[in-house]
Structure 1
Amino acid sequence: MNSLSAVLIGGPADLPPNRRLLRLAAVEEVVRCKFGAGYECFHFLGERMAFDPSVLVYEWSHREEAMSE
């Protein structure tokens, strides 16, 4: 099975660069990235990197706080 490359744009400035590069099994509408006490949410808007169209671009949309149990 081939995986897709994706990059996460925007969101917290302190989200490490190595967390911004992903391999996905399929195109997903939303990618949730665990960070701190919650999740950073990135949406795929159909864009790809200009220098490499095989890389999907996900843009930050919002943060979800983790629910305590």
Structure 2
Amino acid sequence: MPHEIALGEVYIPPLLLVVVIAYALASFVFFIGGKLGLYRFIAFPMIAELCLMVIFVNVLSQYITIF
């Protein structure tokens, strides 16, 4: 299993890929939540988005090898 992903001459760590995917998923979930009006139930939306992103990173790291 590779420890890094090579794009041409640039090496990208797998954790960076997992964080980018998790951020995209968290943003999508919060976008849908905003359209449905779920923001009124969240006291601190930015902290909730960060927590959701951490949860997604943990779930995705189970399927994408980080180390």
Shorter-chain TM range is under 0.3
More strand by share: 1
Greater RCO (Cα-Cα under 8 Å, separation 6 or more): 2
More helix by share: 2
Larger-Rg structure: 2
Q: What TM-score comes out, normalization by structure 2 length?
A: 0.23
